[in-house]
Amino acid sequence: MSDIKTNSSTQGESWTELAKTVIYAGLIAVVIRTFLFQPFNIPSASMEATLLVGDYLFVEKFAYGYSRYTFPFGGWPVGKAMHGRFLSRTPHRGDVIVFKTPQDNSTDYIKRLIGMPGDHIQMRDGTVILNGKAIIRTRVDDYIEKIDGQERHVAQYRETMPEGVSYLTLDRDPEGMMDNTGIYVVPADHYFMMGDNRDNSNDSRMDVGYVPAENLEGKAEFRFFSIDESARFWEIWKWPMAIRYSRLLTPID
């Protein structure tokens, strides 16, 4: 018998190995996306200036443990049968979190965690009052944005949580609709979320309401890519002028 393989059998084995490689790579990608890190992009301005429209980021899926909302099958019958969290970890005030709302399980929201279960939250003249004490809010340099080619200056503040977490917020309207509110008491196993762009964010002060612990999907960790409004992600030929190079591979505060 000949020990020389024919060209057709060699080609067949090559295609088989290629198919296996593609399948293995796909399975690894699915495991990483489901259990470890999932990419998200920012479609709205509610988290400016921390996150901009066109930012692409990785969310750590295991940061707070897992629930049915963590998995892609969360909306399927098997997912709906799951309740609570397992391998649960408690988030921290100041974390930037991706979550589902109780009203809309089909849409991902991203906001900053301001209130823990049992906290009393209120807004007074644009300042967050946490359990009766004002969160430190310091005026910093204006946030500068371009609209239709024109520069616009927006008042910017640095907030510092009692635990020391610090981040930037915008105050577009000193007399904004939600700058003064009643007191919100965060229920057990729920969290209070707010956007950093305080006058342009639908958050726990409005329709989003309190977010159940079960609805947390993960913690936003870092940006891996960012392009401005002059290009879409697939318009590669526009990237050289559209990429925000200073935001590439940067952590999210």
Taking a C-beta distance cutoff of 8 angstroms, is the pair 140, 157 a contact? Answer: yes
Can you tell me the mean pLDDT for 33-61? 88
Q: Which residue has better confidence, 90 or 78? A: 90
The pLDDT tens digits of the residues spanning 196-229 come to 999 999 999 999 999 999 999 999 999 999 999 8
The residue-averaged pLDDT of 66-73 equals: 76
pLDDT of residue 70: 79
C-alpha–C-alpha distance, residues 181 and 205, integer Å: 8
Better pLDDT: 168 or 71: 168
Q: What residues does each domain of the chain span?
A: 14-251
46 a catalytic residue: yes
**Mean of per-residue pLDDT scores for the chain:** 86
Cβ atoms 106, 215 nearer than 8 A: no
Q: What is the pLDDT of residue 122?
A: 97
| 48 vs 35, more confident | 48
Name the catalytic one among 46, 201, 204, 226.
46
We find that the CATH architecture of domain 14-251 is Ribbon (2.10)
Strand order in the sheet with 120-124: 133-134, 127-130, 120-124, 184-185
230 — pLDDT class (breaks 50, 70, 90): confident
The catalytic position among 61, 100, 111, 219 is 111
pLDDT at 32: 56
Answer yes or no: is pLDDT of 3 > 70: no
% of residues, the chain, pLDDT over 90: 61
